[in-house]
Amino acid sequence: MSTHVLNGDSLLHQLPDQITGQKHVMRECLMDGPVAASLEQDLDLFYKDRVTFLSALTEQDISKENYVKEVGVLFEKIQSATDHSNLYLWFEHDLFCQVNSWFILWLISKNITKDYTVWMVHPKEEAPYSFADHTAEELAYAFEHAQTVTKLDQLAQLWPAFCNQDNQDLVMLAHTLESTYPFLMPAVRAHLDRQETPGSPGRPIQTLREIMSENPSATFGEVFRLFSKKEAIYGFGDLQVQRLLQSMNSIKTD
């Protein structure tokens, strides 16, 4: 039996009918907000942290029950995956998708006694950050040429390193895995570059400042499109860019 973990609802509607099996959507943005509680054996605290964060981010009253139904159900499916399964991970190479995939890989590693094969389905080289730019034939080709996941134990450690903000470990792991997974290091570097340092607000905010300086009358939609084109490696959605814009007012410039 085949199970597919998809990076979003858009991909769910794109997949051609010939790709069969159970399909589950990853509906999270784990590169943003609190995630450390996920390392506990019980995901309950993690769910509570994410509900609080996402409710504030979206300005909606998200209940824990709805979160588990729409999001957490995927995590629990992975934890209870049946033996002799093929598990296909459909994640793009941008930071947004990669962080989500690190969590999924970590969950899979916690169930290593299960007898199933894990695969990565990669986007085409011309569009590493967007399955949306794929035709049905290209998605079928990507599926047929999926990469068998090896070095799972090392891949899984990317998640604790991310949760613990251990940048040194993230770089070491990405470097160690580079020959097999060359897309990891660019994502890790993008993550490091977004962090605020003395004299710098971080790469995404700096890019937004440049965009707004060059386009002072641009609407949010225009700013978002320009940012997405210039910093596709981040894979940010509109909520992440809005949050960055809001934070810019609180960052002092030298």
> What was the pLDDT predicted at 116?
78
The secondary structure of the chain in percent helix, strand, coil, rounded to multiples of 5, reads: 55, 10, 35
Domain boundaries, the chain: 2-188, 203-248
Output the pTM of the full model: 0.94
- Give the per-residue pLDDT at 233: 98
Vertex 159 angle, CA 44 and 178, to 5° = 160
CA torsion sign for 28, 151, 95, 160 is: positive
* 131: number of Cβ within 10 Å: 25
Q: Tell me whether strands 117-121 and 22-25 are parallel, antiparallel or unpaired.
A: unpaired
What pLDDT shows up at residue 79?
80
- Please name the residue that has the structure tokens 């084109």: 229
For every one of its 254 residues, what pLDDT tens digit does the chain have, with 9 covering 90 and above?
789 999 999 999 999 999 999 999 999 999 999 999 999 878 999 999 999 999 999 999 999 999 999 999 999 888 876 666 899 999 999 999 999 999 999 999 987 666 779 999 999 999 999 999 999 999 999 999 999 999 999 999 999 999 999 999 999 999 999 999 999 999 999 999 999 999 899 999 999 999 999 999 999 999 999 999 999 999 999 999 999 998 887 554 44
Interatomic CA distance for residues 234 and 101, integer angstroms: 14
In angstroms, the CA 204 to CA 191 distance is 10
- Those residues whose C-beta lies under 8 Å from the C-beta of residue 25, and which sit 6 or more positions away, are 5, 6, 7, 8, 9, 11, 12, 74
Cα–Cα dist 241/106, whole Å:
27
**Whole-number Cα distances in Å, 253 to 48, 68, 229, 247:** 35, 41, 25, 13
